[in-house]
A and B are shown apart, each in its own frame.
Chain A
Amino acid sequence: MNIQISLKDGVPIYRQIVNQVKYMVASGQLTSGMEVPPIRVLAEQLLVTPNTVVKAYRELETEGVVYKRRGAGTFISENGSPLKAAEQKRILTERADTLLTEAQQMGYSLDDITTLLNERAAVLGKAKNKSAKEHG
């Protein structure tokens, strides 16, 4: 599990772990049934106090993202789909908010943004078709 901890923005570490696990579930990197590392292993890997990992796992368990199997470890829940969708929407909403705030600061209007989005969609679509043809 590739989790990065950043101390820059003041977000508590356990929250960063929770967010990144949710993101990985939402983006499909972690599928239901996969095991997440034990508390001690993840704590050693990230070099954070084990109690932080305990807290993170507890919150993930409360929100139903993971569940604990007695004596076997912690696993990703099966009923990830509705959460997945909610989580995906939340992530994209955050990205959109960031884009809109920055655009406003730079003086771009909403129409400018829409035009830009259409342009980029077209470019990315072409590139995707091209690579599909090459590998097809």
Chain B
Amino acid sequence: MNSTILRTQLWELWRLTRLELLLRLLTPLAYLCLSIYLPVLEGIVYFGIVLTSVTSQLWLQSFDQRQRGGFPFILSFTQPVPTRWLVGVPMAWLLVSNCLIYLGLVWVAQLVLPSSYPGWVMLPFLLTVSACLAMATWSTTGFGERAVVTIAMAFVLAFCLRPRLGMMDPLEAGPNALRHVMDFRLLENGILTVVTAIAVGITIFFVRNQRCGEYHSQVGARASRVYQSRETGERRHPFSSRVRAQIWFEWRRVRVRAAAAVFTGLASMGFFTWLLRDDREGEAFGALSSIYLYAMLALILLVTEGVLGMKYRAKVLRLSVYEATQPISVGSSIVLKLGVTAGVALVGSVVLLFGAVCCAAVMISIDDMGRVLTTAQALSRTEAHFGIEYGFVALAAYLLACLTAIHLAMGVGYCAPWLERHRVAFVFGLLFLLFPMFVLVSETLVMWNFRFLYDSYLFTWGILLIAATVFGLRAVLKEAIYRPRPVALMVVLWVVCVVLTIRLVVLLDPSLTSLSVYAVVFLCGLCCIPIGSMAWAPLSLAAQRNQ
């Protein structure tokens, strides 16, 4: 093996990953800051360390949709080097850097925190996980295949570790609870090493196929032919209206990722139900509800990203020219995108809810079911009414939150090119957002009371949000993005929602009526977010479309 080529590869890997390595080393510092304040988070600190050690852009980058092969260094296929070196060097870099980062982070954590963490003993486990994830992403061709194999690999790894995971108690303070879990014996270490070597071998085999131009795996090719034969060549009826055509357009763009998100959510629910089946249903319910929320959030974000229509062209993120030149107005475009996203989210949420209910039903024993029913029967009429009203308002608030989330995601998405171009401003904005965290840390260090800083921070945010909402609504009406009557209707509905929510909140906890001025302004600002985001999304699209 030519030493110059080796040197070039190592230099390329260094240049590619140096920023990422730095970030990975710095990320858990945030955890450490928080864990100084909340000792119960110390267990999470360790999870954060493990997660950071395993997450590397070398395999995350393979999810870049433009690459057909999964191996990130396709350009080096033309080098006079055997495939085993081409794959081996980055793989070795990945494994070594992951191990070194893990050891470094554990060392820092042990300096700062009182508890002790497993060090060397974890390395074979880390090597196996890193190698398997790299194998999953580098060996596959096509984005869909890559996603499926990676998720399957993650499930397989979790399955294999289930005896260990079953013994975990994340709520137990400190990683001592984990130590006996993650301490692998010699035989297991041997098995892990062998699995790592097999993963590397499989990767080399598949990358060699990619190098020789065999991009499509047999399975993939056959599957795509079956799928193609289903769609006949007969001319379908033309769309009866532009609205239907646009809905079809947005739906087709996002259907695969929506299905993937819902499927992953259901699979995770099933997996965790089975994992936590033995005892502690309280935990299981908690896990189910948090998986549901995460899956919903992931679904909303994925589908929103799909309908945005932003593309990388010549390394610059911008709205695709095709979309920008369609004869459709900004207002209609946003409304249709919102409609499709909300519709998909609604269907997805019903499916996920159904799945969660099934999983819960599996877990509840008959006694518990009886207990729940008797409690429900014992509710008085007023309490029942209150419960129903509360239920409706909660549902309305949930729907509003979802719509707001979609609007916010669209607004952020269309501002992404601006953020990318003005990174300094973006970083300053982020620092402003994280300002209270700094104050919190300084408070514990300096032992002063910075209450007035919190108050003025909340006040500033409240004023900013209210002003942004007012200006946004004005701009939307001035640019005729939405007509005045629908906007007025939306404002009225929003006012109704806010009033109902305040009424319920006050009923629940009367002490909340005595709040400081600053907190009131901040809450008003928070309440403005749904209506403000409704204006922000189309304005940022208009800014992207007509620069």
A–B touch (CB < 8 A): the answer is no
By a beta-carbon cutoff of 8 Å, the part of chain B in contact with chain A is none
